[in-house]
């Protein structure tokens, strides 16, 4: 007789409902499999996606997330915020091909001891059928080719002319443009010819937050069609004042679509996961994707923290997976689709696919246009009673 596989289940539960529901299961002696380990947190609102990733890293075969029913939250609305985040997090995991049958959500109240028992039983049984969770090993023949780096040409003369006018009229103190290698900071009208006719995919808004750039005074930046939305997000997040940054639009708007994403989603999940494992295996964690992103302006990135190590800092397979999940999810409701990360990636990982997955979830579920109105509330950090929850038990 072959040995039965005993899955490891990590449950993140809130202190006030599910933890007490589990307590009541004990008091009423409702037996359930011993495979579950409960981590008590104040509220389901505290349960961060990084914790779930970490649980899988340390060997969990499934994770259960549970808190108070809508309307019952000890902190009024923590569970609504949690629900909103899971609504956006799940589409990201889906595009990564993560096996969603390993991630369970449930509302379990302090009185629902039986529901707690039944949920644990079901999760253990289902996971037993699935077998152990393993991050796919990177391919041994080749990590994949990646996409070609690209460069665009545009009419520099018009941009130079506009930059000269702005500087001469003292509308701005500095114009940030594309130079022969990287950005150029033009402060005198006679220097505008340093703006070249080749852009490298950078979103120049990424430089606005830098101290030395701020010190230059009022800025104008050259913006490709998708870039200017970043200014809206930066204003929404109090990083720049309204109208403080002028733009000099360049290039023709392309047409964005989700065809690449749909093609990827057409693959079976396991194949998607394996494909990404190959892609991520190329990642050297140079963090170019982070450095060029106008939205990655944290003083210290979570990836650089080591107390605790939320994301493995070395380019290990699981560390790379955690990093790319984190990067993409931190852009939820914030990515404007400029594609700077893609252009910057020296190993050609198609990072946009991840951004697009979250972006589409934001647009479809909340009808939210990231780069439109700086006063509009970001879809993360708010909630609605009608938020769907068919994925929650």
Partner 1 sequence: MARIGVFLCWCGENIARTVDVARVAELSAQIPGVRCALDYKYMCSDPGQSLLREKIVSERLDRVVVASCSPHMHLKTFRKAAERAGINPYLVEMANIREHCSWVHPDREQATLKAAELVRMSVEKVRHNEPLRPIKVPVTRRALVIGAGVAGIQAALDIADGGYEVVLVEREPSIGGKMAGLSETFPTLDCSQCILTPRMVEVGQHPRIKLYTFSEVEAVDGFIGNFTITIRNKARYVDIAKCTGCGECWNVCPLKKNPSEFDYGMGFRRAIYVPFPQAVPARPVIDNKVCAKLVRNGCGLCEKKCPTGAISFKDEDRLIEEKVGAIVVATGYKLYSIGKEQPSDKLHGYGEYGYGKYKDVIDSLQFERLLSASGPTSGEVRRPSDGAVPKNIVFVACVGSRDNAKGLSYCSKICCMYTAKHAMLYKHKVHDGQAHVFYMDIRSGGKGYDEFVRRAIEQDGARYYRSRVSKITQENGKLMVRGADTLSGLPVTVEADLVVLAAAMRPADGVQELARKLNVGYDEFGFLMESHPKLRPVETNTGGVFICGACHSPKDIPESVAQASAAASKVQLTFASEELTREPEIAGVNERMCAACFRCMGACPYHAIERAEIHARNGDLIKRTARVNPGLCMGCGTCVAVCPSKSMDIAGFTEQEIYSMVEALA
Of 134, 140, 181, 238, which one interacts with partner 1 (CB under 8 A)?
238
The phi, psi pair for 323, rounded to 5°, reads -65, -45
Of 18, 61, 81, 96, which one interacts with partner 1 (CB under 8 A)?
81
* Residues 129-188 interacting with partner 1 (rule: CB under 8 A): none
Residue 27 burial (10 A CB sphere; 0-12, 13-18, 19+): exposed
Residue number, 82 or 176, with CB nearest to partner 1: 82
To partner 1, the closest distance from the beta carbon of 374 in angstroms equals 13
Q: If binding means CB under 8 A, how many residues of this protein chain bind partner 1? A: 63
To partner 1, the closest distance from the beta carbon of 54 in angstroms equals 5
Residue number, 209 or 249, with CB nearest to partner 1: 209
The rounded Cα 340 to chain-centroid distance in angstroms is 15
Beta-carbon contacts of residue 230 (< 8 Å; ≥ 6 apart): 203, 205, 206, 294, 295, 336, 338, 371
Residue number, 40 or 388, with CB nearest to partner 1: 40
Q: Name the one range near partner 1 by CB under 8 A: 131-139, 235-243, 248-256, 262-270.
A: 235-243
Q: Compose the 330-369 pattern: x for residues touching partner 1 by CB under 8 A, - for all others.
A: x---------------------------------------
Rule CB under 8 A: is residue 241 a binding residue for partner 1? no
Q: Compose the 24-43 pattern: x for residues touching partner 1 by CB under 8 A, - for all others.
A: xxxx-xxxxxx--xxxxxxx
> In Å, what is the CA distance from 325 to each residue of 92, 94, 225?
8, 11, 26
Gap between the Cα atoms of 311 and 296, Å rounded: 16
Q: Is the peptide bond before 119 cis (omega within 30 degrees of 0)?
A: no
- Other Cβ atoms less than 10 A from the Cβ of 210: the count is 11
Tokens describing residue 296: 């990655």
Of 153, 381, 384, 391, which one interacts with partner 1 (CB under 8 A)?
381
Of 154, 258, 275, 297, which one interacts with partner 1 (CB under 8 A)?
297
* Residues 300-319 interacting with partner 1 (rule: CB under 8 A): 300-302, 305, 307-310
Sheet containing 219-223, strands listed edge to edge, beginning at the edge strand earlier in sequence: 183-186, 174-178, 219-223, 246-249
To partner 1, the closest distance from the beta carbon of 292 in angstroms equals 17
Gap between the Cα atoms of 328 and 311, Å rounded: 14
Of 173, 313, 382, 393, which one interacts with partner 1 (CB under 8 A)?
382
Gap between the Cα atoms of 235 and 270, Å rounded: 40
Of 78, 97, 229, 371, which one interacts with partner 1 (CB under 8 A)?
78
Of 55, 64, 283, 293, which one interacts with partner 1 (CB under 8 A)?
55
Residue number, 86 or 178, with CB nearest to partner 1: 86
Tokens describing residue 312: 């493995």
Gap between the Cα atoms of 94 and 81, Å rounded: 21
To partner 1, the closest distance from the beta carbon of 42 in angstroms equals 5
Residue number, 55 or 172, with CB nearest to partner 1: 55
Of 18, 54, 123, 293, which one interacts with partner 1 (CB under 8 A)?
54
To partner 1, the closest distance from the beta carbon of 280 in angstroms equals 20
H or E element that contains 323? helix 317-330
To partner 1, the closest distance from the beta carbon of 175 in angstroms equals 25
Gap between the Cα atoms of 151 and 180, Å rounded: 12
CA-based R_g, the chain, Å: 24
Gap between the Cα atoms of 264 and 92, Å rounded: 12
Q: Name the one range near partner 1 by CB under 8 A: 20-28, 101-109, 131-139, 263-271.
A: 20-28
> Residues in the chain, how many?
393
Extract long-range pairs of 370-373: CB within 8 Å, 24+ residues apart: 370/229, 370/232, 370/233, 370/333, 370/334, 370/335, 370/336, 371/226, 371/228, 371/229, 371/230, 371/232, 371/233, 371/336, 372/229, 372/232, 373/232
Rule CB under 8 A: is residue 19 a binding residue for partner 1? yes
Give contact residues for partner 1 (rule: CB under 8 A): 8, 10, 19-20, 22-27, 29-34, 37-43, 45-48, 51, 54-55, 58-60, 73-78, 81-82, 85, 117, 237-239, 297-302, 305, 307-310, 330, 377-378, 380-382
């Amino acid at each position: 007789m072959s040995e039965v596989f005993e899955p490891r289940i990590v449950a993140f539960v809130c202190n006030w409902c599910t933890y007490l529901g589990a307590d009541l299961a004990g008091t009423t002696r409702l037996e359930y499999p011993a495979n579950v380990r409960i981590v008590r947190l104040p509220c389901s609102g505290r349960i961060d996606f990084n914790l779930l990733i970490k649980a899988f890293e340390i060997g969990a075969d499934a994770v259960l997330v549970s808190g108070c029913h809508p309307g019952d939250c000890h902190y009024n609305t923590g569970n609504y915020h949690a629900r909103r985040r899971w609504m956006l997090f799940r589409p990201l995991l889906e595009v990564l091909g993560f096996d969603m049958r390993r991630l369970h959500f449930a509302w379990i109240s302090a009185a629902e001891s039986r529901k707690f028992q039944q949920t644990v039983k079901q999760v253990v049984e289902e996971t037993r059928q699935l077998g152990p969770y393993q991050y796919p090993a990177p391919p041994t023949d080749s990590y994949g080719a990646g996409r070609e780096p690209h460069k665009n040409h545009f009419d520099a003369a018009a941009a130079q002319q506009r930059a000269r006018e702005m500087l001469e009229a003292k509308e701005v103190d500095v114009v940030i443009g594309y130079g022969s290698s990287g950005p150029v900071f033009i402060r005198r009208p006679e220097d505008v010819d340093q703006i070249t006719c080749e852009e490298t995919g950078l979103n120049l808004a990424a430089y606005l937050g830098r101290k030395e750039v701020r010190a230059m005074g009022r800025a104008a930046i050259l913006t490709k069609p998708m870039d200017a939305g970043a200014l809206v997000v930066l204003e929404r997040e109090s990083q720049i004042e309204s109208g403080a940054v002028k733009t000099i639009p360049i290039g023709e708007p392309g047409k964005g679509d989700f065809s690449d994403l749909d093609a990827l989603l057409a693959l079976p999940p396991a194949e998607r996961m394996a494909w990404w494992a190959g892609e991520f295996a190329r990642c050297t964690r140079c963090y170019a994707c982070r450095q060029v992103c106008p939205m990655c302006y944290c003083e210290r990135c979570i990836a650089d923290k080591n107390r605790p190590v939320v994301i493995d800092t070395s380019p290990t397979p699981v560390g790379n997976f955690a990093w790319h999940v984190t990067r993409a999810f931190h852009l939820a409701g914030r990515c404007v689709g400029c594609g700077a990360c893609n252009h910057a990636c020296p190993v050609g990982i198609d990072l946009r696919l991840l951004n697009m997955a979250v972006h589409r979830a934001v647009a479809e579920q909340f009808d939210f246009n990231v780069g439109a109105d700086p006063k509009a509330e970001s879809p993360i950090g708010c909630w609605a009673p009608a938020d769907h929850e068919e994925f929650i038990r």
